Amino acid sequence: MPRQKRLRTPTRPSDRGYGYPVRIDVLSIFPPYFDGLTLSLLGKARDAGILDMHVHDLRDWTSDRHRTVDDTPYGGGAGMVMKPEPWGLALDELATASASGESPTIIFPSPAGEVFTQATARQLSSRDHLIFGCGRYEGIDERVFEYAADLGGVRLISLGDYVLNGGEVATMAMIEAIGRLIPGVVGNPESLVEESHEDGLLEYPSYTKPAVWRDRSVPDVLLSGHHAAIASWRHEQQLERTRRRRPDLLPADEHTES
């Protein structure tokens, strides 16, 4: 059986309210990229049995002594393309690995994919089994995506209109965005509601002690103890920030003050 880099087995049954954790598998030729998954909230969620995360080296599903995962492209062109068979073997093994029995959602980071948003993260946080396939070089043989669709849902997802060296950084970002929305990962779920993009607006400014720092004061309303006034001020700040920084998030009639 191919070797895998497993991020510590959960130590007790899931705290999600189900009998199993959310399973997340990552396929990459650079597994050390994902050492950060052992840290902070995601690491604690893994230890609590909420997440069951596994990072696999795609080369473990190769058959030659050089552990080759790429070859020249048909039709010519620069660069190399990732071979289909290591992907096929890996997906065959992982597709049925979830304790829930649910078919996986298989995600390939790609500059040719749909744009990842908070809504995407929320959709994916409801799934019981996610598999991330990290491409490299000039990409993955197109037939892998077609084959993966026979095993589960397939989504090609982009972080934005730019190109990275591979899918690892994008996968890390998506796992963190998705993972923190899974019940039990973040200690205070109310904090998720007030964040940027949850209600279509950017988050309001935050302040802490001291009340005056280097001649800059905390807005008086936040010191007033008047909860309705504070809520109104925060909402206005959200609107103002969004108009100024991300007008594309607002309906056309709200791009400017009326």
The DSSP line for 227-248 is: HHHHHHHHHHHHHHHHHHH-GG
Q: What is the pLDDT of residue 194?
A: 56
Is the domain of 85 the same as that of 207? no
CATH number, domain with residue 146:
3.40.1280.10
Q: What is the pLDDT of residue 254?
A: 66
Distance of CA 159 to the CA centre of its chain: 10
Continuous segment of H or E residues that includes residue 26? strand 22-28
Instruction: Report pTM.
Output: 0.83
How many contiguous H segments (helices) and E segments (strands) does the chain have? 8, 10
CATH number, domain with residue 215:
1.10.1270.20
Which domain covers residue 218, as residue numbers? 195-254
With CA atoms as reference, report the closest residue to 147 among 164, 157, 133: 133
Q: What is the pLDDT of residue 258?
A: 43
Q: What is the pLDDT of residue 181?
A: 93
Find out whether 133 and 145 touch, Cβ atoms under 8 Å.
Answer: no
Is the domain of 131 the same as that of 168? yes
Is the domain of 202 the same as that of 175? no
Q: What is the pLDDT of residue 191?
A: 60
Last residue of a domain, one of 138, 154, 189: 189
Is the domain of 84 the same as that of 178? yes
pLDDT tens digit at each of 258 positions of the chain? 445 544 444 433 444 455 679 999 999 999 999 999 888 899 999 988 999 999 999 999 999 999 999 999 999 998 999 999 999 999 999 999 888 888 999 999 999 999 999 999 999 999 999 999 999 999 999 999 999 999 999 999 999 999 999 999 999 999 999 999 999 998 766 665 555 456 788 999 999 999 999 999 999 999 999 999 999 999 999 999 999 999 998 987 665 554
The number of domains in the chain is 2
Tell me if 123 is assigned to some domain.
Answer: yes
Q: What is the pLDDT of residue 51?
A: 95
Is the domain of 225 the same as that of 100? no
